[in-house]
Structure 1
């Protein structure tokens, strides 16, 4: 079974994989919403509700007085005379006192220790207005008819209840404070006429209206409390988010400073590290090859060879660290020039052939025809290919195959693909092997020598060329390393459409 066929490779080249949803974040947000909904009906915001009640009284200060004026005008034309005018002036004065209390509180503010005191003051103010409505319930209009005027009074009181329930919803007890006395007064006056069904109905309507509008005020009060709870929770979440962002920014700034200091240190130590290593490599090679004369003790010759091999390994490690440090510090410069990816890939295959044959591994080139020049840095492209091929040779078992592909992406760019049939990489370890000094469990288990810098360097070099690097792997099937370069880097000598990739040869 082939590892990855050509069509799937091209699909991976063109398609952009969606980022996985963060399940932990989704769970956290659902929990936050549930927690907010559980706050319904809980009133921990007396101070805010008190100020909302104050603002409502100030904004709607003229609502009920206008109703009173309209009733007074109608009453004068109906024949009530001075009594309705006196009631209107008296009741408007009571509402004026309540409005002055609200303005005073809005002007001076209030501390938490005076919340209960001001709630009682407001309830006292609403009780004062109840005296005016009780006065209205006491009025009589002989000219209006014995059965009509009580009905009008009951309707007016119910209308005033409705307005008060909406305006004073932040303090639900205001409805009871303002209209319990008028309802009782109306009931006492109507007790002499309870033998008529109409009066009994009016009294029942007043009590039902008082209970209903108190319930309405309660519902509105709870809705306001829930809104305040949601707002408070949102403000707390925003504050926590801002704090976390500030801490994150500070941590990122310190990490960037530390990383820059590290990169500068390694870059400045390039000469100091390489100079003694070159001397060690030179002298150990002279000793191992017995250039200045034979060494009688064979053990010494083996030691000299070990010193030379270890020195080369250390020099390669230093070079990789310095390359990665220069890239991270933004000091890695590239020399862009027109080049053919297939030619560089072919040269790299010849360079790796000896190492591959020693493990009985076959390198199979698959280059598309008609490739155009790519504007890139030759040394970087060569380093990308050699690192990817060296990794493939390292992990591919004997008698394995490595496919080196160069071709077009559907978007008009070009790509390099190195695919092996080695042991593969577990999906959860792909981010590890792409990080600096990261090694997978298979590499550790097999004791493969390496620094864990090859793939991070490849990824960084591809990003410098505005490209993308992806690693696809399946356990016991193999791994494919894919580097794509954008269409903007292709030198369009003549208009060309992307060609279909060469089909994979049968193994």
Structure 2
């Protein structure tokens, strides 16, 4: 508004709020946007504000009043009057905000805040329930596992007499080792639960990959024998121990070997290799001769509970390479499944 309180600028938001076009409202007064019973009062306040503050400093006056839309309905607005000195003289800038919109937005923010609090509580309860479930299940599983491990060890050591056939003794040894590994996995579940609560950390230690690979192959050998698969090892001579978590490395090898055996046809070959790429990197890979996959989202394969459909296959000559970064190990290890 100019010094006579005539409207000289009217932006798009004002057009939407009051229903007037700028071309229609120019040269009218701000009081023309107010109800009849408050026009004079507001006009007096604005005129007094304009002529009282005659200095070069900027002054602001805030008021909450009723405004009138072009169609006649009334709505509350918050008007902030600000006196500004331009080259052409003093003007008054009125910043008008719809009180209803402000209240609606505040109400919506409050509603969103309440929803967030509910979701946070639900997530905390679900996390607590998960931790309780893991603790309970781990306890229930360890009880029979300890019995399996104990009895298989007694048979392996032939406490009550010879087993008989030599292969049975080897199988009992495999049962004992598998039971120990499963018990170790259950302990890992508890470790992860404690990690989530900041109660524990992974144990890092030097790990020699040679015995680690041999142990995994021995454990998976019965499954390979059933499918008449050939297991082969290729390890660099100068391979130094890595710094990592022993159980995690063992589990990665078992997972990769299990998949290789699962998707390999009878009579095929599975190669487990470990080689040094440079001073800081070692490549640990499990390579099979199974069919590969197409039309898949590679990132999904590294996530939990994701399977592969048998229909998504293609010839081995166009094989995909899936790299799974092995965390918590230094030097960096990449487990590559071909």
Instruction: Report the TM-score when normalising by structure 2.
Output: 0.50
Structure 1 unaligned blocks of 5 or more: 1-38, 47-94, 117-160, 172-223, 284-312, 446-472, 492-500, 502-507
Which residue number in structure 1 is paired with residue 67 of structure 2?
A: 113
Q: Distance in 1 between matches of 2:126 and 2:290?
A: 38
1:420 and 2:288 are equivalent in the alignment: yes
- Among candidates 28, 46, 50, match of residue 99 of structure 1: 50
Is the Cα contact below 8 Å between 1:397 and 1:422 reproduced in 2? yes
Is the Cα contact below 8 Å between 2:272 and 2:286 reproduced in 1? yes
1:340 and 2:208 are equivalent in the alignment: yes
Distance 1:107 1:399, change over 3 A: same
Is the Cα contact below 8 Å between 1:412 and 1:487 reproduced in 2? no
Q: CA deviation at 1:474?
A: 7.4
Q: Distance in 2 between matches of 1:422 and 1:113?
A: 76
Q: Distance in 2 between matches of 1:427 and 1:483?
A: 19
Instruction: Report the TM-score when normalising by structure 1.
Output: 0.36
1:388 and 2:313 are equivalent in the alignment: no
**Secondary structure of 1:43's partner?**
helix
Q: Distance in 1 between matches of 2:118 and 2:141?
A: 33
Which residue number in structure 2 is paired with residue 379 of structure 1?
A: 247
1:43 and 2:25 are equivalent in the alignment: no
* Bigger-Rg structure (1/2): 1
**Secondary structure of 2:88's partner?**
helix
Q: Distance in 2 between matches of 1:241 and 1:110?
A: 22
Q: CA deviation at 1:385?
A: 0.8
- Among candidates 221, 224, 230, match of residue 356 of structure 1: 224
**Secondary structure of 1:384's partner?**
helix
Matched residue pairs, number? 249
Q: Distance in 1 between matches of 2:218 and 2:181?
A: 21
Which residue number in structure 1 is paired with residue 192 of structure 2?
A: 327
Q: Residues 332-373 of structure 1: CA distance to partner in whole angstroms, max 9, x if unpaired?
A: 764432222244224423443443243233334343342222
> Which structure's relative contact order is higher, taking Cα pairs within 8 Å and 6+ residues apart?
1
Q: Residues 295-336 of structure 1: CA distance to partner in whole angstroms, max 9, x if unpaired?
A: xxxxxxxxxxxxxxxxxx999989756644542442676443
Q: Distance in 1 between matches of 2:150 and 2:211?
A: 33
Q: Distance in 1 between matches of 2:223 and 2:240?
A: 30
Distance 1:256 1:347, change over 3 A: same
1:439 and 2:304 are equivalent in the alignment: no
Q: Distance in 2 between matches of 1:270 and 1:387?
A: 20
Is the Cα contact below 8 Å between 2:243 and 2:330 reproduced in 1? yes
Which residue number in structure 2 is paired with residue 163 of structure 1?
A: 88
Structure 2 unaligned blocks of 5 or more: 1-10, 19-45, 71-85, 152-177
**Secondary structure of 1:255's partner?**
helix
Q: Distance in 2 between matches of 1:239 and 1:401?
A: 66
Q: Distance in 1 between matches of 2:183 and 2:297?
A: 25
Q: Distance in 2 between matches of 1:333 and 1:403?
A: 33
Q: Point out the structure with the larger helix share.
A: 1
Q: Distance in 2 between matches of 1:431 and 1:248?
A: 29
Q: Residues 133-152 of structure 1: CA distance to partner in whole angstroms, max 9, x if unpaired?
A: xxxxxxxxxxxxxxxxxxxx
Q: Distance in 1 between matches of 2:191 and 2:306?
A: 19
1:489 and 2:330 are equivalent in the alignment: yes
Is the Cα contact below 8 Å between 2:268 and 2:289 reproduced in 1? yes
Q: Distance in 2 between matches of 1:488 and 1:329?
A: 20
Which residue number in structure 1 is paired with residue 154 of structure 2?
A: none
Which residue number in structure 2 is paired with residue 264 of structure 1?
A: 132
Q: Point out the structure with the larger strand share.
A: 2
**Secondary structure of 1:489's partner?**
coil
Distance 1:278 1:351, change over 3 A: closer
Q: CA deviation at 1:422?
A: 2.6
1:397 and 2:265 are equivalent in the alignment: yes
Q: Distance in 2 between matches of 1:314 and 1:431?
A: 32
Is the Cα contact below 8 Å between 2:302 and 2:324 reproduced in 1? no
Q: Distance in 2 between matches of 1:249 and 1:418?
A: 46
